Amino acid sequence: MNERDSSDASAANPLVEVEFDDDLDDDVAHFQALIDSGKIAAPIITMPPGFLDKIVPRLPTLDSLGLSATLDNLSRMLTPEVLGLRESLLTDSVTAQLASQMPSFKMPELLANSISANLTERMSRAVDNLAASVMKQFDSTILKSIPSWLPNLASLQLHLPSNWRGVRVDVDEIEQDVFQILSEGIPLAWVPNRRVIILLLDAPDAQARRRVISNNRRGIVTTCANVVSSLPLGGRPLFLADTIVRAVRAFQDGHVEAAQALATNVLDTLLSGFSRAALGRTMGSMLNPEYSRQLAEERSWRLQLALRPSFTLMRGEHTVHERHNAFHRNATTHAVTSHQYSRINAVLAIMNATSVLTCFARDTDAFE
């Protein structure tokens, strides 16, 4: 570490500019000694290339500070919508508070972006958790009796999963387009991300939508892994989430057939083993077309965007003598062919397993 004194007649202490070099431990110790001795009145810190790579791993995490549990608890009570705030206002507020505590230290852009991204992700999850909690605790009669000056909690019935934030459309106005995508076995809840949703909505037909899935396959499966990894699960549900991550890794390693088979089995396990706990129905009754109409009448978009693809994927008989290019559970299980096992269908299997698991975990009592 190098020091350069500069005279300042009006200052009680000299101004010391501190430049860190490669010997970080000695630098930090020396810098602390300068502070303790009172030699530094207004430290100016300059960072050479590579400094952030050394210091960032040493910074405390939310877990090490014991803040993770606190944030998770707050997520069940407060959200930007309820407070009437935008997420950006909250993150800007936090940044301002940090700056006020460290007036002589300009936070590196990389670190500031990392903190902001972490807070935004947690706030996004907070919104999702609150919506699920509200819809479990308030029935329609209670919602109607809420004073008008309170947030319109009834609107949370149409609350969309976090991946729809930033999609500048009214879902009610494009209902038929959305239902067409879902009927093709493409889920729209929690995955894919906003950009892919827009591409799917703009695609003119089913073949074009399959090209969208194929062209964005790497980003889609990565999103799936991130979504299930962030779920607050334990026990068997945690195993299912981990299995989806393993399917993603198999896909990324080029084992497309293994990824499709594994993700399809997770989807089948969720629908056959947890439908009754989640929806009060067996898988057979849940896949009944009558329930599909009921789901539409309930206007529960969060459930529809996750579950409607299953009405297509989990039905029908398939044999090895038939050519089935579209992803189907029965064809994947009972008709192992080059037509059924493909890169696109593997992505669809991972997407559907991710969407249903997240739906059951966030919006139902399946795992309670």
Q: Read off the tokens for 211.
A: 């090209």
Using a cut of 0.75, tell me whether the model's pTM lies above it: no
pLDDT tens, residue by residue, 166-178: 888 887 789 899 9
Structure tokens at 45: 């810190």
Tell me the pLDDT band of 64, cut-offs 50, 70 and 90: low
Q: How far apart are CA 187 and CA 221, in angstroms?
A: 13
Continuous segment of H or E residues that includes residue 71 = helix 68-75
Neighbours of 235 (CB within 10 A): 8
For residue 158, pLDDT beyond 80: no
Q: What is the mean pLDDT of residues 132-154?
A: 45
| 27 and 150 part of one domain | no
Q: CA of 289: how far to CAs of 97, 277, 282, 360, in Å?
A: 54, 20, 14, 20
For residues 172 and 154, membership in a common domain is answered with no
pLDDT of residue 182: 95
Instruction: Identify whether residues 221 and 141 lie together within a single domain.
Output: no
Q: Which of 112, 132, 159 is the last residue of a domain?
A: 159
Q: Mean pLDDT in the chain?
A: 75
Does residue 359 carry a pLDDT above 70?
yes
Residues 225-284 have pLDDT tens digits of 999 999 988 888 999 999 999 999 999 999 999 999 999 999 999 999 999 999 888 898
**How many domains would you assign to the chain?**
3
Contact 264, 240 (CB under 8 A): no
196 & 284 share domain = yes
pLDDT at 61: 60
pLDDT band at residue 123 using 50, 70 and 90 as cut-offs: low
Regarding whether 180 and 322 lie in a shared domain, the answer is: yes
pLDDT above 90 for 218: yes
| pLDDT band at residue 138 using 50, 70 and 90 as cut-offs | very low
Range(s) of the domain holding residue 25: 1-58
Residues 181 and 118 in one domain: no
Taking CA 38 as the corner, what is the angle to CA 37 and CA 43, rounded to the nearest 5 degrees?
115
Asked if 166 and 148 sit in the same domain, the reply is no
Both 319 and 192 in a single domain? yes
Q: Is the pLDDT of residue 26 over 80?
A: no
DSSP designation for 155: G
Domain boundary among 159, 192, 214: 159
